Chains A and B, each alone.
Chain A
Amino acid sequence: MNTTTNTSTGLQSLSISQRLIAGSLALLLGLTLLVGTGFAGDFRLHNGAHDTRHAMGFPCH
């Protein structure tokens, strides 16, 4: 039978370097989004995300 399936759930089959690369990319993009929506001082970002900042408990003005 050459149709046996790979039953790994994904993560365990990854090498440590693959996990580091995936994690680093996700962390970089994730933090960029969080800083942009929750922390950035720029008034356009602040005013656009104002209600979200208050609703999600970020410190805001």
Chain B
Amino acid sequence: MIRNLFAAALLAALCAGLVTAAIQHFRVTPIILHAETFEGEGGHSHGAEAVVDHVDAPGTPAHSHDVVAATVAAPEEWAPQDGFERTAYTTLATVLAAAGFALVIGAVSMFANIPITFANGFLWGIAGFLTFSLAPAYGLAPELPGMPAADLVARQLWWTGTSLATGGAILLLAKTRANWAFAVAVALVVAPHIIGAPASPDEPSAVPAHLATEFAAITLGTSLVFWLLLGSLFGKFSDVFATRKAAIPAGAIA
């Protein structure tokens, strides 16, 4: 049974992850690459923002500001080469993240004793989308490279807390529809947004607004496709493995 759970989760993650990676390749990554061409022109820069806090006049030749800036910028960090290598890493990372999400909802299914089937897989997908995409995005809009953003750890904490609270609320309502449960669920969903996500610094972004809005819409849409696929496929594969098990004659050691 543990094998069935892992097999269904990983197979669903592979399929949903590859489809998502394909959508990302054609619709999402081009916007990221476009945004990166503006990176460093505005108030935010990659890695050295604590040191370089001014904007040079247009046409100023490249120069280093002080020793700290030089040492921060000098070591070349490894990064995949643009082109095939970068696409391959993104595809791999997306499939691995998909496997992570699939195993997490598989774990929730085990703990909560709610099976993931083809009949309810769509709902699992919607729950996953609300929990891990829409609720966090409501406070922290999908960000492009080069956009000003609050402290990373603070944002990661808020993202995690919001997902836990939203997921907890959905799970509670999946288990019971008692009046108190509705009250607790509403409180769980709303609390992170009353606390508030870490606010972005009020500084101009070098990334054009139309790129940012396009990116937010496309990433949320892609996440919805990903989650509906993941939930439905997870349920489908679970059903298939369960019926295969059911074909074993009673009395045989399953």
Chain A residues within 8 Å of B, Cβ to Cβ: 2-14, 18-27, 29-34, 36-39, 43-44, 47-61
Contacts and interface: CB of A to CB of B under 8 A. Distances in A.
A31 B145 CA distance: 25
A22 B2 contact: yes
Given A55-B94, A56-B97, A23 B107 contact: yes
Closest 9 CB pairs of A and B: A30-B103, A23-B110, A33-B100, A49-B93, A27-B107, A34-B100, A59-B155, A52-B93, A47-B79
5 contacts: A30-B104, A52-B93, A54-B215, A59-B143, A60-B145
A61 B46 contact: yes
Contacts, number: 185
Interface string B224-245: 0010000000000011011001
Nearest to A47: B79
Given A6-B254, A49-B93, A61-B145, A27 B4 contact: no
Contact of A57 (B46, B77, B133, B250): B133
A56 to B, nearest CB: 6
Contacts of A43: 77-78
Interface in B157-208: 159
In which size bucket is the chain B interface? Answer: 35 or more
A2 B196 CA distance: 62
A15 to B, nearest CB: 10
Interface string B99-116: 111111011111101010
Contacts of A14: 1
B116 to A, nearest CB: 9
Nearest to A18: B1
